[in-house]
Chain A
Amino acid sequence: MGQTSIRRRLIAIVVLSQTLLAAGLLLTGIYYTEWRLLSTLDAAMQARAMSLAALVRYTEDASGDVYFDDSLLPPSIDPSHPDLFAVWTEKSGLLVHSRNWPKDLDISPAGKDHWRFKWAHVHYRGLRVFHVPVLDREEGASFHPQTLSVIYAAPLIQLDQQVNAAGVSIAAWSALLLAVTVLLALWGIRRGLLPLQQLADRAALVSSQDWELHAPKEAERTAELRPLLQSMTNMLARLERSFVQQKEFLGNAAHELKTPLAVVKSTLQSLLQRPRSAEEYQKGLEHSLEDLQRLEQLLQWMLRLARAEQWAHGALRRDLQVIDVTATCEEAVERARHLAAERGMTIRLAKNGQVPLRADPEDLQLVWSNLLENAVRYSPEGGTVDMNVATANGGPARVTVEDHGPGIPADELPHIFDRFYRADPSRNRATGGFGLGLAIAKALVEAYGGKITAQSTLGQGTRMTVELPTN
């Protein structure tokens, strides 16, 4: 499992950057130390080479010969490790060299002024100096100055030791710094991630009993956690809403199903409580039958709703034919005519030719029937209901059902598509209806990728608009 850890990653970054920094520091430190020590060494070597050159004397004659006065040899730079030197003259070649001068040493590496070489397991730094001594001479005396070539070499034992010591010390300090940084980073990350842990602890307390996320203050103050906190809060609100809706639906369904059952049961039990007249028995049985029919109806509606919703969630796929929406509207109006006539109402259908759509005609008729029944039920007797079906070239099929009833208050309008919602507050069962019609209509319309909306003006009426995409 590819588990990653923010803490481990951050620590890795800290360690890596610290190591790079330490390596850089070490290299720079060593280079700088060596450079400083070498320039000091070079200065000392230069001075000694010049002293050696100064010990070359000219003879008093006109031959221009030279000799070396070895009475004033400069001391070695490092007293425990003797330096090497040799002096050449233009004329006579090697004039003098130190006692330990290696005969076979290659003394002219590519004409460099400074170089490093190894002899008898010891590293040396070599220096070559050219010098023309100038001497005070009496006027007229013949004088042939010679160019001297001096090579001076000092062992690097001490210098290498010093550079090593500097390197070790820098490395040690860097390691210590690295350790301290890692500890600090560990502590810092732990502290930094603490609000996340606290948030997780609080989030674990959220349940279906208490949906509120009591976010710790620390987490609220942490800028990085704010987006997470925000989306958690939003998500919980959505979850709670749907949970409450589901619970309400369950409660409503239980109530709606159990009440008629309770009525039938109580009717039959009360019939059996004592001997009754034949009339009483008949009346009781009639009532029971009525209530059972109502229960059956309700079950049908609930199944229809369940099917529509299931389909809306893509659980069913059907091969659909292209049908005419206008024809389904005509059929629905025909079916609703009886109910409308009972209330002395007329339904007017405004149509404009065929509106082709890939759909099941039964589904569409059910939607229109539900809308028409609602419109008829909530309109004053003797009024009219207007139905309009049209499509704007290539646009969605648009069906509106408009009544001229009392309208729906603005605060109830968002709920009319809720399951078991009844606009009629007295919920008089005599008017029929279970509060499922609009929920079914909505589920079916959404199953076809359409949408259903309601506009209402108090005292003027309500208009339901269904839009179905035609492609």
Chain B
Amino acid sequence: MRVLIIEDEPRLAENIGRSLRESAGYAVDIAPDGQEGLFMAESNEYDAILLDLMLPEMDGMQLLSRIRKAGQRTPVLVVTARDDKESVVSLLNAGADDYLTKPFDLGELLARTKALIRRGKGLPSPVLSIADLELNTVSRSVQRGGRPVVLTAMEYRVLEYLLHRPRAVVSKTELLEHLYDYNWEKFSNVIEVYISGLRRKLDNGSSKQLIHTIRGQGYILQE
């Protein structure tokens, strides 16, 4: 999962970013003002955007309506100092999916971000599953047929993403887009390494293969 944080207070952005990386294993990009935030939201694929309302260059509300007008469906969690009913109503009407008022709880921010990402992909439950494979996004644990599977951080992130898009073909480029932040060099053969690692660990002892390769297109997670 890859999240964009648009926040002009660098220390706050850094704290949120660190928390998302450490506790959820997300890739995080930070934009310090509205202009750059808009540019990044338009040029990259994000699974969620955390948006501060009061921003230099371009106001958060303006940015929100710009990306919604452009047809972006990425879930947006607004972080605001205003908690009066009017502002909340107007920002939800402008296309925000959820909001948090400052000063917020990092744990709550994390939980809301995860929920937004799931709902954005049509998955209401925090436990993602296909066949006898189960992934708990809260405890970040994986089981296959009731047997715990130990994954590396990157393998977990790949699997988590695939489980968010079950029975859909996911290309290597899409995986790269959603698993790495802006500062990473992206090499598609890295993905192949993680996929083969995942296959080995998940299919160990199971008769049914879950991750299938579609030649020239990508991967699909299905029974």
Residues of A whose CB lies within 8 Å of any CB of B are 209, 251-252, 254-259, 261-267, 269-270, 273-274, 287, 291, 425-427, 429
Contacts and interface: CB of A to CB of B under 8 A. Distances in A.
A255 B103 CA distance: 10
Interface residues of B, number: 28
30 contacts: A209-B86, A251-B54, A254-B83, A255-B54, A255-B81, A255-B82, A257-B81, A258-B102, A259-B81, A261-B102, A262-B104, A263-B12, A264-B103, A265-B103, A265-B104, A266-B16, A266-B19, A266-B104, A266-B106, A267-B15, A269-B15, A269-B105, A269-B106, A270-B19, A273-B22, A273-B23, A273-B106, A426-B56, A427-B8, A429-B9
Nearest to A425: B56
B11 interface: yes
Contacts of B16: 266
Given A251-B81, A287-B11, A427-B8, A262 B23 contact: no
A243 to B, nearest CB: 12
Nearest to B9: A259
B181 interface: no
B56 A262 contact: no
Nearest to B33: A426
Closest 10 A-B residue pairs measured CB to CB? A266-B15, A262-B103, A262-B102, A258-B102, A255-B81, A258-B81, A269-B106, A254-B81, A261-B103, A265-B103
Contacts of B19: 266, 269-270, 273
A270 B106 contact: yes
Nearest to B12: A263
Query: Interface SS of chain A: helix, strand, loop or mixed?
Result: helix
Q: Which of B15, B18, B33 has the most CB of A within 10 A?
A: B15
B57 interface: yes
Given A254-B81, A258-B103, A263 B18 contact: no
Interface string B12-41: 100110110011000000000100000000
A261 B102 CA distance: 8
B107 interface: yes
Interface in B95-117: 101-107
Interface of B: 8-9, 11-12, 15-16, 18-19, 22-23, 33, 53-54, 56-57, 79, 81-83, 86-87, 101-107
Given A265-B105, A425-B56, 14 more contacts: A209-B86, A251-B87, A255-B54, A255-B81, A262-B102, A262-B104, A263-B11, A264-B103, A265-B106, A266-B15, A269-B15, A269-B19, A291-B11, A425-B57
A269 B107 contact: yes
A429 B54 CA distance: 14
A287 B14 CA distance: 12
Contacts of A270: 15, 18-19, 22, 106
Nearest to A251: B82
A209 B8 CA distance: 30
Contacts of B83: 254
Contacts of B86: 209
A425 B58 CA distance: 10
A273 B24 CA distance: 12
A257 B101 CA distance: 12
Contact of B22 (A254, A274, A427, A429): A274
A422 B11 CA distance: 20
Contacts of B87: 251
A427 B56 contact: yes
A273 B109 CA distance: 13
B30 to A, nearest CB: 13
A251 B102 CA distance: 12
